[in-house]
Chains A and B, each alone.
Chain A
Amino acid sequence: MRKHWIAVIALTIVGAALLALLFLKVPLVPAQAAKQAAQIDTLLTVQLALGGAIFALVMVFLVYSVIAFRRRPGDTDDGPPTEGNAALETVWTIIPLALVLSLATYGGIVLRDMLRPPPGQELVVKVNAMQFAWLFEYPQYGFTSPQLRMPVDQPVLLRLASRDVIHSFWVPEFRVKMDAVPGMEKHLRITPTVIGNYQVQCAELCGLLHWAMRAPVSVVDGAAFQQWIAEQRK
């Protein structure tokens, strides 16, 4: 009987390791371009690896049982009548509880870091969403632009508003998203870290051309940003 346990445990470890390797080595997510992205990706990888381990555990038990304990032809007897085991049942109640509560704690810490206003001055951009376009208003500089341009490594506070229905601001490289809700203002904090061109996509179904509701986003160095500001204000 012991040989079954050894086999199953060994297979589970191998399976969990292979899946963890897969999640770590295969590029599953697009490039990171914001401070928030790094933390979120680590959190996601931890969850994937943990999920992979649990998946390996259950699937190994399942497939192994089907093979090792299959009914032989002509055998109409029943199996051993085990009806339960209080200790085992307690263990598999408590361990998942501990695991998910630790994950929630970890997630809560990451969230707190993401919400905390950074020291120093934030660049404020008022994002106006409408069917089916984006307008970016720079109240500190007094102009509005159809594209979102931000200096690299500068904390940005996006103040999201909508003129008609619900939309949602999402740049995959920044990871985080937040809805633009009519009648309310919602906030999203981003610190872009990589110079480049991206795209904001509306992530909340907003009608006919929802799929096409995109706008260019670019992250530039500080000097280029100042120059752009100067041009815009002219």
Chain B
Amino acid sequence: MRTLLSLGLLKGVIAGLAGTAVGMALTMVVRSALGYPAWQPDQVTLAGTLVGIPAYLAGVGAFSAWWGWVLGKGIEEPGGHHFWGWTRYFGADPNHKVIGIQYMATSLVVIAVAGIYQLIARLETSQPGLQFLSPDTYNSLMSLHGIMMLGAVLLGVSGMINYLVPLMIGARDMAFPRLNAFSYWITVPAVFLLLFALPAGGFDTGWTGYPPLSTKAPLGMQLMILAFYLVGWSSILGGVNFLATIMKMRAPGMGLFRMPIFVWTALATAFLQIVFTQFVGIAFLMVLLQRVLGLGFFDPAKGGNVLLFQHLFWLYSHPAVYIFVLPGLGVISEIVPVFSRKPLFGYRLVALSSFGIALQGAIVWGHHMFTAGIEEWLRIPFMVTTMLVAVPTGVKIFSWLATMWHGKISLDTPMLFALTAIAVFLVGGLTGIPNGIVPTDLYIHDTYWVVAHFHHTLFGGFVFPAMAAIYFWFPKVTGRLLNRGLGKLHWALMTVGFFVTYEPMFWLGLNGMRRRIADYDPALGLGPMNTVVSVAAYVIALSMLVFFVNLVASAWRGTRAPANPWRSRTLEWQLSSPPPEHNFPTPPQVLGSPYGFGIPGSVHAVVTPAGGAGEEKGGLGRVSSG
């Protein structure tokens, strides 16, 4: 009980709830004093969260270090904790490995909830006719599925980058460890807000929240906007941290072109997070002000412009899809060389391609608005810029193929997931072409074609790579191996489940199935195919169940992992599993490429093997040579 009460999370939640109640009560008092009815959902809850969130953060301890510094107490160096000391995962801890695990675990929880929402919604659409959900509930489940999944992806991306980047570049931690903890802890109330959104009436706008609909949607909309805000804030702060870490904290000898590709993708991601997130912040701020104070940004009757929101929204949300997928593509670039025992083909071009994608992604947002009525001529330049993405993504895919060609390929679980990811992402890219070419987009926009397309990009660019990453780095993170048999079962079920769920959606879209509908006309003849989709969706769910069982069972009972089970060359594998509290006792000396497989005498780095606590002896060599 004592331990439980000392958990930052619990203290935070209690303080947060109390703060919210105070904020709400105050607003209601002021409103009645002014002669208005006390209850006005949007204003009252907004004031509640504005008080509740800082109270929560104070309770968690996200401010304690800074507050101590203000009081002139100095900042105590954390450390000396044990990896398996579980309490540290429930409070503000500045260690990047702890934060990485916190992000990843939160992400998986949110993915599970969002997945369950859509599994319920899919039961409804498995046949024509309204089965058991009201259209209202369907819209809310579908919208929450979308926004929670995307939030979970942002968390997962931060998780992977947090855990891996400092290790891969030979740093002790992130550049700003306390800011890092802060960035994680502001996402937790976002998760709570999203969970509350359903009981608060949900919202019926989809994840995109277009006004005017979103200015009229129930209270759930406002909770979603606030959650979006917190996650966006976290994303910007995270980006600042990643950028500073990668630019300033690299070990001696780690030139930019000696960094693992994953670090390159993290750098491009950081750039996108810092530059673009504020656009969507402004867009939703305007919706919020229209809801709470009645301003007329998107109300034509008050001189507002409805399309303005879409421009601002996609100015972020298109680059955001690259925040979602670039780190995943980086993971593939790490895994393919290791399991092919060959250097990454065309390293420099692959490294730069991430920046190609990031820059290109900044000038294509109009392709989401081809049917929205932007200037007719403007559609042509947006079509051309959109098409350009084929070049840098092509570079990545062809490089992976060339890396495998004549390699010595072993199909361990991480590699299996990476290969499925390549196939799925490829289909996502190819089916995006008709969305980018204006006349065909006028046909397939807002249909299940689009639903199929973006699930291919998200599963291929994030979900499958994240699974690959978990199977690959789990031994490093926990010091234990994941069960192989269960891993392969998970892979087989998920791969088959994925293709059977999503390929039919292309056909559905072409044949008149609009997206975001609770029901469809039986005369369209779409029933049987929808049933196939729904059944297969449950196969994906089953595969995730196998995965969660494997995670828990292996973390608890799995075989002990050696330091470097996959014979990889990057820096994190030259440390014990799990790595020591502060990674490298002395900075490693980087001498060459991280992918020099088979090159005689090639060495990535020399790591001085001073023993940290729990240091594993007899790993497969601390100094990697070909």
Contact = CB atoms under 8 A, between A and B. Distances in A.
Given A181-B307, A183-B306, A207-B213, A58 B511 contact: no
Contacts of B517: 210-211
A177 B384 contact: no
A206 B517 CA distance: 10
Interface in B417-441: 419, 422-423, 426-427, 430-431, 433-434, 437-440
A169 B501 CA distance: 28
B345 A84 contact: yes
A80 B510 contact: no
Contacts of A118: none
B63 to A, nearest CB: 40
A51 B342 contact: no
A23 B79 CA distance: 61
Task: Kindly state the interface size class of chain B when it binds its partner.
Answer: 35 or more
Interface in B322-366: 340-349
B519 A211 contact: yes
Given A82-B343, A100-B390, A186-B373, A208 B212 contact: no
Contact of B442 (A40, A81, A101, A103): A40
A79 B406 contact: yes
Contact of B205 (A40, A93, A97, A205): A205
B213 A83 contact: no
A78 interface: yes
Nearest to B434: A47
A199 B523 CA distance: 11
A207 B134 CA distance: 12
A28 B383 CA distance: 24
Given A175-B443, A178-B442, A212-B519, A77 B397 contact: no
Given A40-B439, A178-B373, A66 B419 contact: yes
Interface in B194-240: 204-206, 210, 212-213, 216
A77 B437 contact: no
Interface stretch (A143-151, A160-168, A221-229): A160-168
A211 B212 contact: no
A81 B342 contact: yes
A204 interface: yes
Contacts of B430: 51, 54-55
Contacts of B348: 84
Contacts of B401: 58, 61-62, 65
B376 interface: yes
A115 B376 CA distance: 9
A84 B446 contact: no
Interface in A187-234: 199, 201-212, 214
A231 B599 CA distance: 85
B67 interface: no
B372 A181 contact: yes
Given A65-B409, A89-B346, A182-B306, A78 B626 contact: yes
B565 interface: no
A84 B373 CA distance: 45
Contacts of B371: 168, 177-179, 203
Interface of A: 4, 28-30, 36, 39-40, 43-44, 47-48, 50-51, 54-55, 58-59, 61-62, 65-66, 69-72, 75-85, 88-89, 92-93, 96-97, 99-101, 103-104, 106-108, 110-111, 114-115, 164-166, 168, 170, 172, 175-179, 181-184, 186, 199, 201-212, 214
Given A30-B511, A83-B346, A176-B442, 13 more contacts: A28-B507, A50-B433, A51-B433, A58-B423, A77-B598, A80-B342, A83-B595, A104-B383, A165-B216, A172-B511, A203-B514, A205-B210, A214-B521
Interface of B: 135-136, 139, 204-206, 210, 212-213, 216, 300-301, 304-307, 340-349, 371-373, 376, 379-380, 383-384, 387-388, 390-391, 394-395, 397-398, 401-402, 404-411, 419, 422-423, 426-427, 430-431, 433-434, 437-440, 442-443, 445-447, 507, 510-512, 514-521, 567, 593, 595-599, 602, 626
**4 A-B pairs with least C-beta separation:** A183-B300, A78-B598, A211-B517, A51-B430
